[in-house]
């Protein structure tokens, strides 16, 4: 008899569907939007494999970037799953993704929140002009950010992490209007998410693809917008391509961004996140 029961349970166990991560439905999640270009998407540990002549990720995940059941990411299909490196694997799909600053950031702030929800939106090689309101990348970022709030029953937006500009160092005009475009982007983003004082943690470039690095950095270091905080990546170690931060640099950068965020007064206080539910639910179901 016991054998039959055992066999029965064994069959039930074997036939039961595997745990589907996307069924994770968070509540009261603290949402962070990750946007920018390749160094935000993460290229730490990405190298040229001479045997196959392709770029591959070495798969090395430092302890600071390990997964944690309280840190989720919004997939390209707008579902939550436990976050793991590379965070942008299904977002920056035409590139080989590696380690970025997102996981080390999240691991440093997670103990202040019940759950952290990362919303990766970065695409390698993009210019700031492509992120202006009305353009595809901007629309995708807003769409994903709003879906994140809806998918969590109205989670609260906590901050935007922004690291972009390498592609704007090539052309003099792009560099000279960088500040104007950045201010417009941040204002539009806050306005469209109904968070006029949403903290923005941005990175001053460590590298550029062209000669106008200083002009872009100057704009980044001095946006003169309230609650926009800048951490400087200059001096962090680089991959052999001299353009991308190494894995250990990304760990450090994520921690610098976390420290800048934590330093904002009341950054972990409960927000009036019912607002996003009230605003977004009708939009979604109309
Ligand atoms: C490797 O790939 C690059 C383009 O990705 C190409 O230009 C180059 O010729 C290739 N090298 C070899 C040895 O196949
Ligand atoms: C990837 O490449 C395809 C084909 O060139 C393009 O249509 C698509 O927009 C690209 N996607 C991203 C995220 O860069
Ligand atoms: C939501 O999370 C915040 C921390 O981010 C916590 O202070 C607050 O008590 C939580 N609210 C509920 C209803 O769980
Ligand atoms: C890989 O090789 C290409 C040229 O073949 C180069 O442009 C790129 O920077 C290299 N990438 C890395 C990560 O070294």
Containing 9, the helix (H) or strand (E) segment is helix 2-15
Parent domain of 178 = 26-285
The ligand with the least distance to the CA atom of 111 is 3
Q: What residue's CA is closest to ligand 3, atom 4?
A: 113
Task: Count the Cβ atoms, other than its own, within 10 Å of residue 7.
Answer: 10
Query: Could you tell me if the CB of 93 is within 6 A of ligand 2?
Result: yes
Mean pLDDT, residues 185-207 taken together: 98
Q: What residue's CA is closest to ligand 3, atom 6?
A: 270
In a domain, 230, yes or no: yes
Nearest to 249 by CA among 54, 68, 34, 65: 65
- Express each pLDDT in 252-277 by its tens digit: 999 999 999 999 998 877 654 434 44
φ/ψ of 228, rounded to 5, equals -110, 120
User: How many structural domains are present in the chain?
Assistant: 1
Mean pLDDT of the chain: 89
Mean pLDDT, residues 93-114 taken together: 97
The residues, any chain, with a CB within 8 Å of residue 75's CB and separated by 6 or more, are 22, 81, 90
In a domain, 116, yes or no: yes
38 assigned to active site: yes
Tell me, what CATH number does 57's domain have?
3.40.50.1110
In a domain, 32, yes or no: yes
In a domain, 184, yes or no: yes
241 assigned to active site: yes
- Whether omega for the bond prior to residue 86 falls within 30 degrees of 0, making it cis, is yes
Question: Could you tell me the distance, in angstroms and rounded to a whole number, from the CA of residue 123 to the centre of ligand 2?
Answer: 10
Per-residue tokens: 40: 């935000």
**pLDDT band for position 207 (cuts 50, 70, 90):** very high
In a domain, 124, yes or no: yes
Identify the DSSP state of 122: -
d(CA 130, CA 241): 24
**pLDDT band for position 114 (cuts 50, 70, 90):** confident
In a domain, 12, yes or no: no
Per-residue tokens: 246: 């190494």
In a domain, 16, yes or no: no
In a domain, 11, yes or no: no
Burial class of residue 55, CB neighbours in 10 A (0-12, 13-18, 19+): middle
φ/ψ of 72, rounded to 5, equals -110, 165
- Express each pLDDT in 212-230 by its tens digit: 999 999 999 999 999 999 9
Q: What residue's CA is closest to ligand 3, atom 5?
A: 113
pLDDT top residue among 261 and 283: 261
244 assigned to active site: yes
Q: Please tell me the pTM assigned to this model.
A: 0.86
């Amino acid at each position: 008899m016991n054998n039959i029961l055992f066999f029965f349970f064994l069959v039930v166990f074997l036939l039961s569907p595997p745990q589907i991560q996307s069924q994770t439905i968070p509540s009261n999640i603290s949402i962070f939007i990750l946007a920018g270009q390749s160094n935000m998407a993460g290229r730490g540990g990405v190298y040229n494999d001479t045997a196959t002549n392709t770029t591959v990720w070495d798969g090395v995940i430092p302890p600071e970037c390990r997964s944690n059941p309280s840190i989720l990411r919004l997939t390209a299909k707008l579902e939550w799953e436990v976050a793991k490196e590379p965070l942008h694997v299904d977002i920056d799909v035409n590139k080989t993704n590696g380690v970025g600053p997102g996981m080390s950031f999240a691991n440093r702030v997670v103990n202040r929140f019940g759950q952290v929800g990362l919303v990766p939106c970065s695409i390698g090689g993009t210019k700031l002009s492509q992120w202006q309101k009305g353009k595809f990348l901007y629309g995708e970022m807003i769409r994903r950010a709003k879906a994140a709030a809806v998918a969590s029953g109205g989670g609260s937006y906590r901050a935007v992490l922004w690291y972009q500009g390498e592609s704007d160092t090539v052309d003099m005009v792009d560099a000279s209007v960088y500040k104007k475009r950045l201010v417009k982007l941040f204002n539009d983003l806050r306005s469209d998410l109904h968070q006029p004082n949403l903290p923005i943690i941005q990175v001053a470039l460590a590298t550029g693809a062209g000669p106008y690095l200083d002009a872009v950095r100057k704009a980044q270091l001095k946006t003169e917008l309230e609650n926009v905080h800048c951490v400087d990546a200059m001096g962090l170690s680089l991959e052999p391509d001299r353009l991308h931060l190494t894995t250990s640099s990304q760990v450090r950068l994520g921690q610098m961004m976390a420290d800048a965020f934590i330093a904002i007064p009341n950054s972990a206080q409960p927000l009036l996140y019912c607002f996003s539910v009230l605003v977004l639910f009708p939009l979604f179901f109309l």
